[in-house]
Structure 1
Amino acid sequence: MMIRTAEYSDAADLAAILNEIIALGGTTAHLTPVSGPIIRQWMDHDPEASSWVLAEQDGAVIGFQFAEPHSQLPPDAADIASFVKPGITGQGTGRAFFAATRDACRNLGYKWINATIRADNQSGLTYYSAMGFKDWHIDPAAELSDGRITGKISKRFDL
């Protein structure tokens, strides 16, 4: 497995992974499929204050993670999102790209990283806990864009 910085040319592969996760349902707050151009827009959100990394195995992208500023967080906090191709989980992919994201966030001057996870996403909650994140905010009434109430748990990793 190789970890590297994600580039614009990877956007279609990143979108395909996220779309596969969306199609399975039950883990991501994203409910609408995305395209390569949408991923590139996300990458352009605040590139000087963001980190985008991906994992490749045998030349294929198998997961990605990004951390960036968020309007509902203080300036010393980055918000993180992680996506691994279904069927690949449990092979150390998330641990590998979190090491790169953690180091990038330190280099960008962040003091902590926030992860907000659907309360019904047990695999996501387990992953972030395994990375050392601790619960800091629980919103049991949080709803998805389609109106379903799933609740959300925010976890914090101090750098």
Structure 2
Amino acid sequence: MLTTRAMTAADVPACVAILNHIIALGGSTAYDHPYSEDFFASEYLDEAPVANVAVADGRIVGFQAAFDYGEGLYSIGSFTDRENPVKGAGRALFNKTLADCRVRGGVAILARITSDNAGGLAFYSRIGFVDDHVVPDDHTRPDGTRVDRIVKRYAL
């Protein structure tokens, strides 16, 4: 059974393992360097006002955070287990994060996705995000390739 809940400090090792595996695969996140548990906790537990995990059969299978951009805007980041994926984890996380952002008085959620992340672009479109704007050459990959950032918006 798939459930969602707020992220806790005990979830950090599993979340870091998911994130670092995605980073190692390359091309589907703007993060290019592995996270330490301490750095992850400082960003996702201390900085993000909304941070949730998806749990299936007692195992963390994904996480999502929404960072406060001010004026009711939240920027979302979503990561699900690529080694042992669980169908529906991304959608379940978004439903929880959406509710949390609404409770906080949010007006919109932004997803800032690199243009070479076809899976991420498709996911956010599928759950109702619409194209907002493009930031040209916003990210440089380790090999020097410059990629645009596509900003999608979900109105609350």
Q: Given the two structures, how large is their TM-score scaled by the length of structure 1?
A: 0.90
Output the aligned Cα RMSD: 1.5
Q: Which residue of 2 aligns with 1:61?
A: 60
Q: Residues 15 and 39 of structure 1 are in contact (CA less than 8 Å); yes or no, is this contact kept in structure 2?
A: yes
Q: Deviations along 1:92-138, whole A, 9 cap, x unmatched? A: 11111100000000001110000000101010001100110000011
Unaligned runs of 5+ in 2: none
Report how many residues are paired.
153
When residues 91 and 156 of structure 1 are mapped into structure 2, their CA distance, relative to the original with a 3 A threshold, is same
| Pairwise CA distance, 1:89 | 4.8
Q: Deviations along 1:14-56, whole A, 9 cap, x unmatched? A: 111000000000100001100211111012115xxx1111111
Are 2:149 and 1:152 equivalent residues in the alignment? yes
CA distance, structure 2, for counterparts of residue 4 and residue 145 of structure 1: 33
CA distance, structure 1, for counterparts of residue 5 and residue 74 of structure 2: 19
Q: Which moved more, 1:21-30 or 1:2-11?
A: 2-11
Q: Which residue of 1 aligns with 2:136?
A: 140
Q: Residues 61 and 85 of structure 2 are in contact (CA less than 8 Å); yes or no, is this contact kept in structure 1?
A: no
When residues 51 and 116 of structure 1 are mapped into structure 2, their CA distance, relative to the original with a 3 A threshold, is same
Q: Among the aligned pairs, what percent are the same residue? A: 36
Aligned AA (2:31): H
Unaligned runs of 5+ in 1: none
Q: Which residue of 1 aligns with 2:46?
A: 44
Q: Given the two structures, how large is their TM-score scaled by the length of structure 2?
A: 0.92
Aligned AA (2:111): A
